[in-house]
Structure 1
Amino acid sequence: MTTPPARPQVREALLAAAHDELTDHGQVGISLRAVARRAGVSHAAPKHHFGDRGGLLTAVAAEGFDALAVDLTTAADELDSDDAPAARLAALGRAYVGFGLRHPALFDLMFRPAELHPDDPALVEARRGALGVLSAAVTRVAPSELEPSGTPDLALLSWALAHGLVVLARDGALHRAAGRATEDKALPLGLIGLFSAAMAGEAPPEAP
């Protein structure tokens, strides 16, 4: 018989179980009862710790943004200090796309406000932290003639491009349009490099 987790570990066990349920069944298939059963705790435990299904999914999404922030920061830290700003933006863009392709169900949940408590402070802070890393990279490559007030819009455009590449690549639409095999992960990553170079006014890399 499996020993249930100690009380201080119940929340962590529930979150781990929710991540597993999300991976196996998608967000539609997640229920508090199934998560509790998978975590080996009482059926009342999820409600006690998270309030409702939306609260549980919100906590999972916040962890997703934290994990994305780690990936983005790691990508930035692996660059040399003298690397061009465009290289930094490209590295972060590739990290963003890579995260979305590796964790499709979690990635979808993170940007589904109808499934979450979108104003939850922990979620807001985690989302701001992850997307703030991208925004900072965009600021460094923004054209000098661009008014400061336009930089947030440029950051929004850059994020939308990276996010859209994840969705199009995952669904196969990007590869069909390019006449490429769907398992060719170089296509969306190469397009990120092309966009980053164009943003910085640099020579484009080789075509993906």
Structure 2
Amino acid sequence: MLDVRRALLDAAAGELDDHGAAGISLRAIARRAGVSHAAPKHHFGDRAGLLTAIAADGFRTLAATQRDAAPGGLHALGVSYVDFGAGHPALFELMFASSELRTDDPDLLAAHEESLRPLREAAGRAGEVTAAASGQDAVLMAWVFVHGLVVLQRGGALGAAGGEPAHLLSTFSRLLSPGRR
């Protein structure tokens, strides 16, 4: 039996890759999924509901890649995050496009939190962060740093400034983890 909701999400992911978030329409997604034009509205309510579901799926995928990278510590988590952003540019952009999403959606909020959990755990390990940047501050600093790397790399500004993500990630990891040179 066809899981229509899953088929719609898969079709939406394809449309997102092909046309970006601005090019997504419920009719095109229904056509791509091979279901009635009313199916997206039935399952997601409207375009914002569908985009929110896609973003939540993206955060769950990011969470899985972060869990896989977590044993390697902060540096491996940073590499994983940058690789995810570079490998899924339209999805990555949508995940943080608050104007397109229902930012109060419980599933979206839970998926986003799940994607940050490996970073929170790595930052909380004994000896993993400096006393000056511990707990929530370290998590936010690391997230802002790697997210900024993705955005700058995608926009071409990082390369123009002579920045190399791998080198910058290593340097940043050493700053947060001085005992792990």
Q: TM-score, normalised by structure 1?
A: 0.81
Rounded Cα–Cα distance in structure 2 between residues aligned with 1:10 and 1:115: 23
Q: TM-score, normalised by structure 2?
A: 0.93
Q: How does 1:148-163 map to 2 (within 5 A)?
A: 151-163=135-147
Asked if the contact 1:36–1:43 (Cα under 8 Å) also holds between the matched residues in 2, the reply is yes
Match among 107, 122, 125 for residue 137 of structure 1: 122
Residue 15 of structure 1 is matched in structure 2 by 9
Residue 178 of structure 2 is matched in structure 1 by 201
Letter aligned with residue 135 of structure 1: R
Q: Match of 1:112, SS?
A: coil
Rounded Cα–Cα distance in structure 1 between residues aligned with 2:135 and 2:179: 19
Match among 139, 145, 150 for residue 166 of structure 1: 150
Which 4+ runs in 1 deviate beyond 2 A? none
Asked if the contact 1:97–1:189 (Cα under 8 Å) also holds between the matched residues in 2, the reply is no
Per-residue CA distance 1:124-161 (angstroms, 9 max, x = gap): 11100101211221222222x448xx521221111000
Asked if the contact 1:17–1:35 (Cα under 8 Å) also holds between the matched residues in 2, the reply is yes
Gaps of at least 5 residues in structure 2 are: none
Rounded Cα–Cα distance in structure 2 between residues aligned with 1:195 and 1:72: 18
Rounded Cα–Cα distance in structure 2 between residues aligned with 1:109 and 1:101: 13
Q: Match of 1:43, SS?
A: coil
Per-residue CA distance 1:22-60 (angstroms, 9 max, x = gap): 000000000101100110110000000000001101110
Match among 58, 62, 85 for residue 64 of structure 1: 58
Per-residue CA distance 1:45-93 (angstroms, 9 max, x = gap): 000000000110111001100100110111124x4xxxxxxxx100001
Letter aligned with residue 201 of structure 1: P
% identity of equivalent residues: 53
Q: How does 1:45-60 map to 2 (within 5 A)?
A: 45-60=39-54
Greater C-alpha Rg: 1
How many aligned residue pairs are there?
Answer: 179
Residue 31 of structure 1 is matched in structure 2 by 25
Match among 75, 94, 100 for residue 79 of structure 2: 94
Residue 84 of structure 1 is matched in structure 2 by none
